[in-house]
Amino acid sequence: MIRKITNQAMPYSWGSRTLISDYLGIHATGQPMAEIWFGTHHASMASDLEDATRSLLELRDQKPLSFLLKVLAADSPLSIQAHPNLEQAAAGFERENRAGIALSAAHRNYKDAGHKPEMIVALSEFEALCGFRSVEYVRELLEDIQSYPATEDLKEAAELWRSLLDDSLKALVSHLLHSRAQFGVLSVALAALASFDGRFELCYRLNELYPGDPGVFIAMMMHHVHLQPGQALFLPAGNIHAYLSGLGVEVMAASDNVLRGGLTPKHIDVTELESVVNFSDKPVSLVHQVEVASGLIEFKTPVDDFILYRVEPSGGRLLADLQLGADAVALCTAGEVAISNSLGEREVLKRGEAAFISNDAKLTSFAGSGTLFVAVGRD
């Protein structure tokens, strides 16, 4: 089966009003268009393009996909967040169920029992925060704060933060997360340092959007990543991260478990976040891309919930007889690509269109001239 699918854009406040419509040719709604989900997740399930009453889950005989493919367009920062591993998610989901917390409750942490490793592939220039910088970097940053003409409140805070950092990075982050009520004056002072040091320009930007939020400084402790179109970032369980701006294709395990720590008006559970975050300071590595065949790129990730390919046939190049190995979802981001299979089925996807590809035909071919992202699941 090859069937075109569709879904509505999520109007989250951080979403862009123009990125998705301009890049993919999808009709603008006049509201923020933050994400479009192409999967079977109950929070926003894709449906048959020709019969909107028939969901993708029904097309799959009520069997959920192991992954979720999205288009994401950020005009302002998403929350600083992390996701649990499988063991943590299962325990948290069971614990909140026993406590009688409704799945729709705003203070619910675990919406399901799944983990949520994810990868973002940039379609435009894409800005993100990912993982913690080294303790040495943070210590130097705090020393610099004390050497600048900062307010006395900020200098005293920086001295305290240095002593906490001497204990551990976790001790400092924990203190900041628990200091939300007292952080207002400090975030303003941090933002003011942008006039002395370009590193603090991020504090200035974030404080304009989330004044008084500890995330204004926690962001300074994280790697600031700028992806160019085509580059990808993988975010495993426990990785603290935040998307700041840009358009990308995102693929993840089919979970909605998010533990937030800042830059958001949504529920923040500091204790639970601390229990899942990996506080190690590691450098950022972009996802390794392997050319499986001419015009076929695989993004290599250490999970089995999904595989993501970028398929780029051209007029003289046919990608034929591929064995996907499981059901898949394809999204066309440029040009036109025809998908056909050994059962004689065929669909042509134009820019902004998506399709479900079942594994019953075994062999799949791609032709045309364009770019297609194909996410393959786990049977």
pLDDT, tens only, 39-49: 999 889 999 99
SS3 call for 134: coil
**Residue percentage of the chain with pLDDT more than 70:** 98
Q: Which of 133, 205, 260, 310 is catalytic?
A: 260
pTM of the model: 0.94
DSSP state of 155: H
Q: How many helices (H) and strands (E) does the chain have?
A: 10, 19
Alpha carbon distance 262, 243 (integer Å):
12
| Residue 81: predicted pLDDT | 96
Cβ neighbours of residue 249 under 8 Å, at least 6 residues apart?
A: 69, 70, 71, 72, 120, 121, 123, 331, 333, 373
Percentage of the chain surpassing pLDDT 90? 87
Q: Which fold has domain 2-130+225-268?
A: Jelly Rolls (2.60.120)
Query: Which residues on neighbouring strands pair with residue 126, listed in sequence order?
Result: 227
Active-site annotation holds for 260: yes
Bridge partners, residue 48, by sequence:
5
143 vs 20: CA distance, rounded Å: 42
pLDDT at 289: 97
Q: Which CATH superfamily is domain 288-376 in?
A: Jelly Rolls (2.60.120.10)
pLDDT value of position 294: 86
CB atoms within 10 A of CB 106: 7
| Residue 203 to residue 218: CA distance in whole angstroms | 9
Those residues with Cβ within 8 angstroms of residue 198's Cβ, 6 or more apart along the chain or in another chain: none
Domain ranges of the chain: 2-130+225-268, 134-217, 288-376
Mean pLDDT (the chain, rounded) = 94
Do 288-376 and 2-130+225-268 have the same topology in CATH?
yes
Task: Supply the pLDDT for residue 9.
Answer: 97
Question: Looking at residues 224-228, what average pLDDT do you find?
Answer: 98
**pLDDT at res. 224:** 97
| Residue 215 in this model has a pLDDT that exceeds 90 | yes
Residue 133 has pLDDT above 90, yes or no: yes
Residue 206 confidence (pLDDT) above 90 = yes
Of the ranges 52-56, 117-121, 322-326, the best mean pLDDT one: 117-121
> Residue 245: which pLDDT band, with cuts at 50, 70 and 90?
very high
352-373 mean pLDDT:
92
Q: Which pLDDT does position 323 carry in this prediction?
A: 83
Residue 353: name the closest of 371, 327, 341, 377 by CA.
Answer: 371
Nearest to 220 by CA among 234, 199, 238, 236: 199
Is the pLDDT confidence value at 208 over 70?
yes
